[in-house]
Structure 1
Amino acid sequence: MGSSRLALGLGSAAVHHGGESVYAYNAHEHPELRDGRSRLVSFDVNSLEPDDLYADASIYRPRFLRIEF
């Protein structure tokens, strides 16, 4: 559970749409893609305002982060 919280925190920072209605959710670490001291995390992004998605369809796409530690 801790890694999901970390991923959401990082994922929120990686969403560059800035509006308060845009949010990240559904974070997952992919153990099959571990690489030494790094992890791949995916998460989804959506908006509470449907018009945001019509104006910019790139909001509603999965995001991926490679986290090194």
Structure 2
Amino acid sequence: MVLVNGGEGIGTGWSTYVPNYNPRDIAANIRQLLKGDTRQPMDPWYKGFSGTIEKSATKKAGAGYTVSWLN
């Protein structure tokens, strides 16, 4: 459910940010995992969002994303 709803928080000396992902992409990757196939990378997704989400240069801790809103 963290992948669907996302999560953000600060613990003792650690912080985390997990963006929302499309439930259909999550289900497809779970099916791939159960079959023993390779999973597809997922990009953040927000229901009703009409802007763009683009993967930017990889940062030390993982992938970064550039989010742009359409006017």
Query: What is the TM-score normalised by the length of structure 2?
Result: 0.31
User: Larger RCO: Structure 1 or Structure 2 (Cα < 8 Å, ≥ 6 residues apart)?
Assistant: 1
Q: How high is the TM-score relative to the length of structure 1?
A: 0.31
Structure number with the higher helix fraction is 1
